[in-house]
Copies of this chain bind each other. A is one copy, B any other.
Amino acid sequence: MESSSNPIQDYLSYALAAAHRKMQASLSTRLKQHGIQIEAWRILETLEAGHRLTMGQLAEVVLMNPPTLTKLVDRMVSDGLVHRQVAQADHRQVNVLPTALGKKRMLQIREEVQEQDIEFQSLLGKDEASKLIELLRGVVQ
């Protein structure tokens, strides 16, 4: 299917959705080999940084709604990748911490994600790729 003069292609929201879909599909296929979903990787990668994050903070960083995160963390707990800890300062808050297994798996998966990034960067060219990231950050602010 080829339709070079389709007006929908000119909408920024569409161009973004199309690029996102392609990248997600590609990354998702890669991570499936490791038996993990993209969001779970994001959680492990974020927690690895070492900051003690609450569910709410984590939800924001990993781009998920809180109820969806709750359910994914449930699954990750039963897979032994993370555990929960009620924050001592504020008992409403729940911290999420990676387990030893979670850290180990993250390092393996990170390589896969980096390969993917390199693949797309070489597809675009290095300068174009950094320009793209810069512009995307401008969208988010």
Interface residues of chain A, those whose CB is within 8 Å of chain B, are: 1, 3, 6-24, 27, 38, 42, 45-46, 49, 51, 56-57, 60-61, 63, 113, 116-117, 120-121, 123-124, 128-129, 131-133, 135-140
- 14 new A-B contacts at CB < 8 Å, known A8-B45, A14-B42, A16-B23: A1-B61, A6-B49, A12-B23, A12-B132, A12-B133, A13-B120, A16-B20, A16-B136, A18-B63, A19-B137, A120-B139, A128-B135, A131-B135, A132-B136
Tell me how many chains of this kind the complex includes: 2
Q: Are B8 and A46 in contact (CB under 8 A)?
A: yes
Given known contacts A8-B42, A16-B23, A18-B140, A132 and B133 CB-to-CB distance under 8 angstroms: no
Q: Are A128 and B138 in contact (CB under 8 A)?
A: yes
Chain A contact residues, majority secondary structure:
helix
Q: Are A113 and B49 in contact (CB under 8 A)?
A: no
Task: Tell me the bound Cα distance from A117 to B20 in angstroms.
Answer: 17
Q: Are B16 and A116 in contact (CB under 8 A)?
A: no
Q: How far in angstroms is the closest Cβ of chain B from A49?
A: 6
Residues in chain B near residue A135, CB distance under 8 A = 124, 128, 131-132, 135
Q: Are B120 and A23 in contact (CB under 8 A)?
A: no
Q: How far in angstroms is the closest Cβ of chain B from A110?
A: 9
Task: Tell me the bound Cα distance from A57 to B6 in angstroms.
Answer: 13
For A11, give its contact among B12, B56, B113 (CB under 8 Å). B113
